[in-house]
Amino acid sequence: MTRTRRLVAVLLLVATVVAGLLVHGVLPDTAATDIAGDALYAVAAYLAVVLIAPRLPALATGAIAAAWCVAVELFQLTGLPLAWGAQFAPAMLVLGTVFDARDLLVYVATIVLATAVDALVGKASRPR
Q: Hey, where are the domains in the chain?
A: 2-125
Share above pLDDT 70 across residues of the chain, in percent, rounded to a whole number = 98
How would residue 89 be classed by pLDDT, with cut points 50, 70 and 90?
A: very high
Residue 76 · residue 96 · CB < 8 Å: yes
More confident residue, 7 or 124: 7
Average model confidence (pLDDT) for the chain?
Answer: 95
Residue 128's pLDDT is 61
How would residue 127 be classed by pLDDT, with cut points 50, 70 and 90?
A: low
Mean predicted confidence (pLDDT) in 75-102: 95
Residue 9's pLDDT is 96
Question: Could you tell me the CA-to-CA distances from 89 to 45, 82, 86 in Å, in that order?
Answer: 19, 9, 6
How would residue 122 be classed by pLDDT, with cut points 50, 70 and 90?
A: confident
Would the pLDDT of 124 be above 80?
no
Would the pLDDT of 97 be above 90?
yes
Residue 99 · residue 74 · CB < 8 Å: yes
Residues ≥6 apart with Cβ < 8 Å to 1:
125
Residue 54's pLDDT is 96
C-alpha span between 10 and 7 (Å, rounded): 5
Q: Quote the distance between the C-alpha of residue 33 and its chain's center.
A: 15
Residue 47's pLDDT is 98
